[in-house]
Amino acid sequence: MTSTFTGPPGGFPAAAVPPAVTAQGVSKVYGSGDAAVHALRGVSVGFARGAFTAIMGPSGSGKSTLMHCLAGLDTVTSGRIVLGDAEITGMGDRQLTMLRRDRVGFVFQAFNLLPTLTAEQNILLPMELSGRKPDRAWFGQVVDVLGLRDRLKHRPSELSGGQQQRVACARAIVARPEVIFADEPTGNLDSRAGAEVLGFLRSSVREMGQTIVMVTHDPVAASYADRVVFLRDGETVSEIVQPTPDAVLDRLKSLGA
């Protein structure tokens, strides 16, 4: 995955640009009374535009919940989440759906693709749902960079795990969303396929200014990011800028994971 992007939205972000997405004092409580579980306790964090940020933490730290809330998949109990110029806390289901459809991209750990659709149909699905016309040149470029050109007519069941995840990445990037949320994108892949996917995600940030927020528990995966935010027991505890796998591992150990 050494090919690079040329063309559309490029350039490195200026430092003064406001964050792509921010959480302000976000809390999330599941259940009530004695059975209440505090998944997030007043998290405040910003994710810079044009940067690749990883969220890490031990199991139960609330990292997935935070991502779900940031992406408008889940509601918060209190606090605010602002994506671009829009406050998404308080939006109804329909508005949230529109937001996800038009401004957010997703890459999940598994079951990323619809089995009834071909790779190409899967990639174009979000645009079709919102009724936008895909930019064929851009589509071709993304497909070529990801090496999916000769796989477009295949159904997911005919693709390897790495290929499926690359299709998912292509789907996220083709719609040019403001933010891509990736939830353990390499969790189900072998290390080589994982490295390809992570390399692609990083180059999309570096070369075309895409914003990516990734949840992971793998220090190697986190080392591809520009910055790592650590969570424990529903609170942000620390962060590393320009991480290396070792630095991440050390920090995790100190958190008791």
Partner 1 sequence: MLRTTLAGLRAHKLRLLLTAVAITLGVGFISGTFVLTDTMDKGVAKTFAKSADKVDFAVLPKSDDPDEGAPAKLLQKVRALPGVTDVHGVVKGDAALVGKDGKGVGDSPTVGMSVASGRLLRYDVDKGRPPSGGGETVLDTKVAKREGYTVGDTVSVLGEKHRVHKFKVVGLVDFGIDQEASFRGAVGFDSATAMLMTGQKTYRELDIAGGNEAAVKAAAGAGYDVYTGEELGARLAKAAGADTKIIQTGLLIFGLVAMLVSALVIYNTFSILIAQRMREMALLRCVGATRRQVFGGVLAESAVVGLVGSLLGLVAGVGLGEGALVAVSRFNAGVAVAGPSLAVRTIVLGLAVGIVVTVLSALLPARAATRVAPVAALRADLEPGSGRFRLGWLRTAIAVLLGAAGLGLGVLGSLVMGKGQNAMFTVAFAGGVFFLAVIAAMPALVRPLGRLAGAVPARLGGVPARLAVANAQRAPRRTATTTIALTVGVGLVSLFAVVAASGKATASSELEEQFPVQFQVRAQDYDGSVPQALTEALRKRPEVTDVVESHRKDTKVGDDDQGEIYTITRSALGKILKPEIKQGTLAAALKPGTAMVDDDTVARSGPGLGETVQVETAHGTVPVKITAVYKAGASLDGIIIPESDFTRYFGAQDPVDIYVKTRDGLPSSQARKAVDEAARPYPAAKVVSSAEFEETLTKAIDMMLMIFGGLLGLAIIIALFGIANTLTLSVVERTRESALLRALGLTKRQLRRMLSVEALVMAVIGAFTGVVLGIGFGWAATNAMASDSVFALPYLQVIGFVVLAGAAGMVAAVMPARRAARTSIVESLAHD
Q: How far is the CB of 73 from partner 1 (least distance, A)?
A: 5
Q: How far is the CB of 155 from partner 1 (least distance, A)?
A: 8
Q: How far is the CB of 50 from partner 1 (least distance, A)?
A: 23
Question: Nearest-CA neighbor of 168 among 222, 124, 203, 102?
Answer: 124
- The long-range contacts involving 31-39, CB below 8 angstroms and separated by at least 24 positions, are 38/234, 39/65, 39/234
Is there a contact between 24 and 222 (Cβ–Cβ < 8 Å)?
A: no
Q: How far is the CB of 1 from partner 1 (least distance, A)?
A: 24
Nearer to partner 1 (CB atom), residue 102 or residue 226? 102
Q: Which amino acid is at 230?
A: F
**∠ CA(189), CA(228), CA(161), 5° rounding?**
10
Q: How far is the CB of 192 from partner 1 (least distance, A)?
A: 20
Is there a contact between 39 and 65 (Cβ–Cβ < 8 Å)?
A: yes
Q: Which amino acid is at 133?
A: K
Q: How far is the CB of 97 from partner 1 (least distance, A)?
A: 5
CB atoms within 10 A of CB 109: 18
Nearer to partner 1 (CB atom), residue 183 or residue 218? 183
What span, in angstroms and rounded, lies between the C-alpha atoms of 17 and 40? 27
Nearer to partner 1 (CB atom), residue 155 or residue 202? 155
Nearer to partner 1 (CB atom), residue 132 or residue 206? 132
Q: Where are the alpha helices (DSSP H) in the chain?
A: 63-70, 93-103, 119-130, 136-145, 161-174, 191-208, 219-222, 245-255
Nearer to partner 1 (CB atom), residue 74 or residue 239? 74
Tokens read off for 133: 């016309």
- Judged by the rule CB under 8 A, the positions of this chain that interact with partner 1 are 68, 71, 73-74, 93-94, 97-98, 100-102, 106, 108-112, 114-117, 125-126, 128-131, 157, 171, 183
Is there a contact between 213 and 72 (Cβ–Cβ < 8 Å)?
A: no
The partner residues of 55 in beta bridges, in order of sequence, read 215, 229
Q: What's the maximum distance between 2 C-alpha atoms anywhere in the chain? A: 56
Nearer to partner 1 (CB atom), residue 2 or residue 32? 32
Q: How far is the CB of 252 from partner 1 (least distance, A)?
A: 21
Nearer to partner 1 (CB atom), residue 210 or residue 223? 210
Q: Which amino acid is at 225?
A: A
What span, in angstroms and rounded, lies between the C-alpha atoms of 42 and 185? 26
